[in-house]
Amino acid sequence: AKDSYTTTAKQFSGFVTVRGAREHNLKNLDLTIPRDALVVFTGVSGSGKSSLAFGTLYAEAQRRYLESVSPYARRLFHQMAVPEVDSIEGLPPAVALQQQRGTATTRSSVGSVTTLSNLVRMLYSRAGDYPPGQPIIYAEAFSPNTAEGACPACHGLGRIYEVTEKSMVPDDSLTIRERAIAAWPTAWGGQNQRDILVTLGYDVDRPWRELPQKERDWILFTDEQPVVPVYPGYTPEQTRRALQRKEEPSYMGTFSSARRHVFHTFANTNSAQMKKRVMQFMLSTDCPNCQGKRLRPESLSVTFAGYDITELSRLPLKRIASILVPYAEGTATGRTEQAAAHPEQALVAQRIAQDLVARLHVLLDLGLGYLSLERSTPTLSPGELQRLRLATQLYSHLFGVVYVLDEPSAGLHPSDTLALLKALEGLKKAGNSLFVVEHNLDVIRHADWLVDVGPNAGEKGGEVLYSGTPEGLQQVAASHTAHYLFGSAALPVRAPRHPSGWLRLSGVTRNNLQDLEAEFPLGVFTTVTGISGSGKSSLVSQALVELVSEQLGQAMPTEEEEGEPLERAEPEKSGGQITEGMASIKRLVRVDQKPIGRTPRSNMATYTGLFDHVRKLFAATDMARARKYDAGRFSFNVAKGRCENCQGEGFVMVELLFLPSVYAPCPVCHGARYNAETLEVTYRGKNIAEVLAMTVDTAWEFFGEEPPVHRALTVLREVGLGYLRLGQPATELSGGEAQRIKLATELQRAQRGNTLYVLDEPTTGLHPADVEKLMVQLDNLVEAGNTVIVVEHTMRVVAGSDWVIDVGPGAGEEGGKIVAAGTPEQVANAAESKTAPFLKRLLP
Ligand code: ADP
Ligand code: ADP
Ligand code: ZN
Ligand code: ZN
């Protein structure tokens, strides 16, 4: 490795020295990097950048920090997360701003993540306009999450939930025995309630609608819970006689009305699925007491600049900033009289407004001015969330720490990248170090120091190719990054393809899109561009996807809902219709960055279907046939063959008091996932666990003679995943890796054409060299007669597409229009387009 730090050492105040780093694929690295500088880690996906920046540097900083605070944590971390490294010197404490992998964050809002809501509440409490005679209320009373603030009618939820006969009995021609009461539990629980009704003398064999209203109301709504003898399996007649004879019942059953069941389950169950089931019987409406504003009337009666606090929280941050500026500067109209009457209060208002304006401007600079305080974090993209956290750090005035960031440019239009760089610069000036994993060439160019890891992925990477100031990388022939950074990688030239037809949408209404007309060319590769918040995802990932799946009668891809269902907003629907083009679309496929599974039980081999073939090969071996092991035996999800101690997970969960639980390798199978007998069976010298431990590249050679397996592996290599292990758990995969696995799964299907593929920022997490591979695959899909529509910021991809739709011109309410549409050349010359200048740079 070339190290240029000796020559440039003078410009840096200190260095971090790493010796013998061996985490994951790192090859016993030695490395010296400057402190108080912007250090960017580059390299192809899987080369080991994250293993170095997060797995080694950040993990070690965190371990040291925890050791210093808690003996309990010390024990834990000795067990769990000691990075494989000999020594690290000069390492300051670290803060990681990592994009979420796999698991979703807990629910919160823009206001709470940024802590701006606290300040706004203080502003209302101390400097709001109160109705005459109303005493001042505390800041907490402006939060719906406190007893002081919550609307008493809806407990701060903003919505009232109720059940009706119609909602719980959707088909009233059914009898109770035929499960007219859909809201009751399925299986035994429902049977129990029906048996109780028989004992109570209700007619369970008459259609529901023919029962007297009084009986129906009692069954559905009563709060009474009679406990009665139950005779399961008896007819109503037999039950009557048994009761007369006072026959010994099977058990005593407790009645619960359908409403009671729904609300009780809703409030008490821990199962998200149960909750979801009962929710379908509940109707919700805006709370009439607070109009959905969640606060008690006294809190809502306090205003600032004419807005109550909920109204203010729903405005874009940009608007809040402009409302507050006059207050911060002391020039707001009407304030002078107040200042004369209550000089103290006016001063407080000014101070809080100044603080808020300063903080809001950091967010505006990072291109987030279109968000509102009320916006919930699960609806934000990972890039938006990371920038929110970054902004929060910027005004927290920490110094002397290392910030470790994972692709902060994700989701940013090139015109916003400058602001990001300024923000990073701000953290550095305040006396902090920045270790950033990045693929964006504009960010890489601004680094004070580059660490290029490679040359390739997995086993073929893990070395430091270069560590030094950016210019020096040019000399490193083995570096893929150098190739792109210094402009030697020319864009392949090809004439745009011609569309075979058009998919036309009209009246599209969603988020900031209002009654929009849009047309997408069919049979070609389209990119949709625009600054962050302009409405690209609203148009493509939401409206287009919903309208097309509705037309196809294809259910919207159901996602596991996150967070408390109660707090979740009502699912919104897009307005609009498709006026042309559906005839040639037979299928819709979304290839997103959502995890392929949420537990270590899912992995690439199971997801792609590749593992089915592999298990059949094992079942066909002589030993397996002699022992009558079928393919199921070789699944770690089936009892026969798996290790029973960990039930095939390879890991056991260790519950820890006061700390998140952690996974530790299973002490019985040592992570192999299978029982010893299963592992005795080998296919060409390898047992099934050894096969799962192979990388795609190794397996590709190993299974060279097995066409179905080989074909699937070939596609995985082509999308740049050759370095992944077949059994690598879904929970360890990045969003980009998950996305490429989905893409590969699609690519290995027989191509029938007429499919619409929709991808949202597929290049996130990809090195330019990997982007090239991805584009080849997308082109192949188009060549096979499909349509590909991609939301994208990487100009190389945009320049290589057939058609560009530029959304804007601004973000939020200043966006939502189609600014330009045409071939890359045409859009590059559109005067209004913010994308044009960046696109132009790449075109000949
Ligand atoms: P990059 O950040 O450059 O994309 P990573 O550091 O994530 O690369 O990965 C480097 C290598 O380490 C890859 O071969 C990857 O499969 C492997 N790896 C990553 N995370 C883990 C993990 N938790 N356990 C084992 N191997 C891992
Ligand atoms: P882009 O994809 O171009 O970054 P989006 O379509 O995500 O833009 O956002 C466009 C506008 O719609 C923004 O003002 C954004 O805040 C708003 N928006 C997007 N998604 C949601 C949502 N789930 N709830 C509320 N507002 C949203
Ligand atoms: Zn209310
Ligand atoms: Zn085990």
Does the CB atom of residue 109 touch ligand 2 within 6 A?
no
| pLDDT score of 311 more than 90 | yes
CA atoms within 13 A on the CB side of 372: 16
How far, in Å, is the centroid of ligand 3 from the Cα of 322?
30
Distance 447 CA to ligand 1 centre (A): 23
**What does the pLDDT read at residue 561?**
39
Distance 155 CA to ligand 3 centre (A): 7
Q: How far is the CA of 91 from the centre of ligand 1 (A)?
A: 22
Residue 689, classified by CB atoms within 10 Å of its CB into exposed (0-12), middle (13-18) or buried (19+), is buried
On the question of pLDDT at 104 being above 70, the answer is no
pLDDT at 657 over 60: no
Residue 731 Cα, ligand 4 centroid: separation in angstroms? 18
Separation of 504 CA from ligand 2 center, angstroms? 22
Distance 315 CA to ligand 2 centre (A): 13
On the 0-12 / 13-18 / 19+ scale of CB atoms within 10 A, 243 is middle
What is the number of the ligand 2 atom nearest to the C-alpha of 538? 6
pLDDT-based confidence at 663, cuts 50/70/90? low
- What is the mean pLDDT of the segment spanning 585-590? 92
288 C-alpha to ligand 3 centroid (Å)? 6
Residue 162 CB neighbours (<10 A):
12
Could you tell me if 174 and 141 lie in one domain? no
Nearest ligand to the CA atom of 649: 4
Q: Which atom of ligand 1 is found nearest the CA of 732?
A: 23
Asked, for residue 512, whether it belongs to a domain, the answer is: yes
- How far is 449 from 108, CA to CA, in rounded Å? 36
Angstrom distance (rounded) from CA 511 to CA 542? 10
In this structure, is residue 230 part of a structural domain? yes
* HSE toward the beta carbon, residue 145, CA cutoff 13 A: 7
Q: What's the rounded Cα separation, in Å, for the pair 522 and 510? A: 23
Element (H, E) at 303: strand 303-304
| Stronger pLDDT, 364 or 397, i.e. the higher one | 364
Query: Using the 8-state DSSP alphabet, how is residue 109 labeled?
Result: B
**Are residues 609 and 727 both part of a single domain?**
yes
Nearest CA to ligand 1 atom 25: 24
Residue 655 confidence (pLDDT) above 80:
no
**Binding site membership of 835 for ligand 2 (Cβ less than 6 Å):** no
Residue 69 pLDDT grade (very low, low, confident, very high; cuts 50, 70, 90) = low
Domain boundary among 672, 700, 732: 732
Cα dihedral across residues 307, 308, 309, 315: positive or negative: negative
| pLDDT score for 393 | 85
Q: Which residues pair with 403 in a beta bridge?
A: 95, 434
Residue 745 lies in a domain: no
Our answer on whether the CB atom of 456 is closer than 6 Å to any ligand 1 atom is no
Confidence class of residue 700 from pLDDT cuts 50, 70 and 90?
A: very high
How much is the mean pLDDT over the chain?
88
For residues 531 and 834, the answer to whether their CB atoms sit within 8 Å is yes
Cβ 377 under 6 angstroms from ligand 2: no
Task: Please indicate whether residue 536, judged by its CB atom, sits closer than 6 Å to ligand 2.
Answer: yes
Same-domain pairing of 614 and 542: no
For 21, phi then psi, to 5°, come to -80, 125
Lowest mean per-residue pLDDT among 26-30, 239-243, 307-311, 634-638? 634-638
Q: Which of 314, 368, 536, 538 to mutate to test the pocket of ligand 2 (most atoms within 8 A of CB)?
A: 538
Q: What span, in angstroms and rounded, lies between the C-alpha atoms of 16 and 5? A: 11
Q: What is the CATH number of the domain that holds 629?
A: 1.20.1580.10
Q: What is the pLDDT of residues 794-825, one digit of tens each?
A: 999 999 999 999 999 999 999 999 999 999 99
Q: What number of CA atoms fall less than 13 Å from residue 245's CA on the CB side?
A: 10
Q: Give 216 or 752, the one with higher predicted confidence.
A: 216
Q: DSSP string covering 583-595, please?
A: GG--EEEEE-SS-
pLDDT for 240 beyond 80: yes
Q: Which atom of ligand 1 is nearest to the CA of 462?
A: 10
Whether pLDDT at 766 is above 70: yes
Q: Are 832 and 820 in contact (CB under 8 A)?
A: yes
Task: Kindly give the distance from the C-alpha atom of residue 373 to the centroid of ligand 3, in angstroms, as a whole number.
Answer: 19
Q: Which residues face 31 on adjacent strands? A: 18
* ipTM exceeding the 0.90 mark: yes
Strand pairing class (227-230; 251-254): antiparallel
Band (pLDDT 50/70/90 cuts) for residue 6 is: very low
Q: Which residue has the tokens 């404490």?
A: 93
Tens digits of residue pLDDT in 158-193? 989 899 999 999 999 999 999 999 999 887 889 999
Ligand 1 pocket test: pick from 22, 24, 694 the residue with the most ligand atoms within 8 Å of its Cβ: 24
pLDDT category at 560 given cuts 50, 70, 90 is very low
Pick 306 or 735 by higher pLDDT.
306
Ligand 2: which of 511, 572, 574, 817 to mutate, judged by most atoms within 8 Å of the beta carbon? Answer: 511
> Is residue 700, in this structure, part of any structural domain at all?
yes
CB atoms within 10 A of CB 281: 23
Looking at 113-127, 506-520, 682-696, 754-768, which range is the least confident one?
Answer: 754-768
* Lowest-confidence region among 30-44, 403-417, 577-591, 641-655: 641-655
688 and 808 within one domain: no
What's the per-residue H, E or C state across 406-441? ECCCCCCCHHHHHHHHHHHHHHHHCCCEEEEECCCH
Residue 476 has pLDDT above 90, yes or no: yes
β-strand partners of 308: 303
Query: Is position 748 within any domain?
Result: no
pLDDT above 90: residue 599: no
Task: Give DSSP secondary structure letters for 643-693.
Answer: -TTTTTSSEEEE--TTS--EEEE-TTTTT--B-HHHHH-EETTEEHHHHHT
pLDDT value at residue 488: 66
Residue nearest to atom 22 of ligand 1 (CA): 732
- Residue 71, Cα to own-chain centre: how many angstroms? 34
Residue 457 binned pLDDT confidence (cut-offs 50, 70, 90): confident
Are 8 and 32 in contact by the 8 Å Cβ rule? The answer is no
Q: Residue 30 domain-assigned?
A: yes
Of 667, 699, 732, the last residue of a domain is 732
Q: Is the CB of 810 under 6 A from ligand 2?
A: no
Q: Are 662 and 716 found together in one domain?
A: yes
Q: Are residues 632 and 657 in the same domain?
A: yes
Domain count, the chain: 5
Q: Is the pLDDT of residue 154 over 50?
A: yes
Please choose, from the candidates 569, 404, 559, the residue with its C-alpha nearest in 3D space to the C-alpha of residue 54: 404
Q: How much is the pLDDT for 336?
A: 61
User: Which numbered ligand comes closest to the C-alpha of 287?
Assistant: 3
Identity of residue 658: F
Q: Quick: pLDDT tens for 488-525.
A: 667 777 788 999 999 999 999 999 999 999 999 999 99
Distance CA 730, CA 723 (A): 15
Most confident residue range from 32-46, 83-97, 343-357, 743-757: 32-46
Q: Is 46 in the pocket of ligand 1 (CB under 6 A)?
A: yes
- Are 268 and 178 contained in the same domain? yes
What whole-number distance in Å separates Cα of residue 765 and Cα of residue 741? 14
Ligand 1 proximity of 50 Cβ (cutoff 6 Å): yes
Pocket probe mutation, ligand 1, options 44, 49, 50, max atoms within 8 Å of Cβ: 50
Element (H, E) at 348: helix 343-365
Distance of alpha carbon 658 from alpha carbon 577, whole angstroms: 51
Q: How many CB atoms lie within 10 A of CB 245?
A: 8
Contacts 24+ apart (CB under 8 A), 544-550: 544/505, 544/518, 544/520, 544/758, 544/789, 545/588, 545/590, 545/758, 546/573, 546/574, 547/505, 547/508, 547/574, 547/576, 547/577, 547/578, 548/503, 548/578, 548/582, 548/585, 548/588, 548/756, 549/588
Residues with CB under 5 A from ligand 3 (ion): 151, 153-154, 287, 289-290
Task: Determine the atom of ligand 2 nearest the C-alpha atom of 376.
Answer: 24
Res. 282 pLDDT band, cuts 50 70 90: very high
Residues 6 or more apart whose CB falls under 8 angstroms from that of 21 comprise 28, 29, 30, 31, 52, 56, 83, 84, 85, 86
- Kindly report the protein residue whose alpha carbon is nearest to atom 17 of ligand 2: 511
C-alpha 257 to ligand 3 mean position (Å)? 26
pLDDT digits (tens, 9 = 90+) for 779-801: 989 999 999 999 999 999 999 99
In a domain, 669, yes or no: yes
Residue range 605-619, pLDDT digits in tens? 999 999 999 999 999
Asked which of 262, 286, 310 is the last residue of a domain, the reply is 286
How many helices, marked H, and strands, marked E, lie in the chain? Answer: 35, 29
Which CATH number covers residue 416? 3.40.50.300
**Ligand 1 in contact with 49 (CB < 6 A)?**
yes
- Mean pLDDT confidence for 263-278: 84
Question: Residue 663 forms beta bridges with which residues?
Answer: 653
**Nearest C-alpha to atom 10 of ligand 1 is from which residue?**
48
Residue bearing the CA closest to ligand 1, atom 24: 24
Q: Which of 789, 780, 775 lies closest to 585, judged by CA? A: 789
829 lies in the same domain as 686: no
Ligand 2 centroid distance, CA of 541 (Å): 11
The model's confidence at residue 569, banded by pLDDT at 50, 70 and 90, is very low
Domain with 697 in it:
604-732
pLDDT class of 326 with cuts at 50, 70, 90:
very high
Residues with CB in 5 Å of ion ligand 4? 643, 645-646, 666, 668-669
* Residue 736: predicted pLDDT: 77
What is the whole-number distance in angstroms between the Cα of residue 565 and the centre of ligand 2?
21
**Confidence tier at 394 by pLDDT (50, 70, 90):** confident
String of DSSP letters for 360-384: HHHHHHTT-TT-BTT-BGGGS-HHH
Which ligand is closest to the CA of 297, given by its number? 3
Spacing, Cα 678 to ligand 4 middle (Å): 13
Quote the percentage of the chain above a pLDDT of 90: 63
Helix ranges restricted to H, 222-296:
236-244, 258-268, 272-279
- Distance (Å, whole) CA 424 – CA 440: 14
Nearest-CA neighbor of 185 among 193, 176, 174, 177?
A: 193
Quick check: CB of 538 below 6 Å from ligand 2? Answer: yes
Tell which one of 23, 41, 45, 51 to mutate to probe ligand 1, the residue whose CB is within 8 A of the most ligand atoms: 51
242 lies in a domain? yes
Q: How many residues does the chain have?
A: 844
What is the CA angle 318-298-337, rounded to 5? 65
* Residue 292 confidence (pLDDT): 94
- For residues 130 and 225, membership in a common domain is answered with no
Ligand 2 contact, 533 CB (< 6 A): yes
Residues 608, 725 share a domain? yes
Q: pLDDT value at position 257? A: 95
Q: Distance (Å, rounded) from C-alpha 766 to C-alpha 620?
A: 39
pLDDT recorded at residue 730:
86
Answer whether 530 contacts ligand 2 (Cβ < 6 A).
yes
- Digit-coded pLDDT (tens) for 396-445: 778 899 999 988 898 889 988 888 898 899 889 989 999 999 999 999 99
> 68-79 burial string, b = 16+ CB within 10 Å, else e?
eeeeebeebbee
* Structure tokens belonging to residue 297: 């009337």
Q: Residues 152, 194: one domain?
A: no
Instruction: Examine the domain organization and report whether 148 and 165 are in the same domain.
Output: no
